[in-house]
Amino acid sequence: MTKRITTTTGFSKISGQDGKASAALPFGYANLPTGLKTRVRAAQPRAVVSDNRELILPYWDIGKIIIDAQKTKGYGKQVVERVASEHGTCILDD
């Protein structure tokens, strides 16, 4: 069984099965890795949202370009249908 001993310097010593100090750790160190993991886990959903945003923006831009062309050049809904039929569901196939 391990045992934590706090010294007068404020460091903790963890003793192993043999009772010898196996490491000197600052007091409260045990909470540090847990806090770091919590921060990383909290950041992961934000990273996913950021990635999704970057994937959505080109499609938003394409829609804006089509709407602007419909307003300024008089394109009708047939333009959207033609682009879709010529390029399928992915414009990047070319």
Which pair of structure tokens corresponds to residue 74? 């008089």
* AA letter at 17: Q
* Cα–Cα distance, 23 to 14 (Å, whole number): 6
For residue range 33-53, list pLDDT tens digits in order: 888 899 989 988 888 888 888
**Residue 70's pLDDT band (boundaries 50, 70, 90)?**
confident
Which pair of structure tokens corresponds to residue 34? 């847990």
**Residue 91's pLDDT band (boundaries 50, 70, 90)?**
low
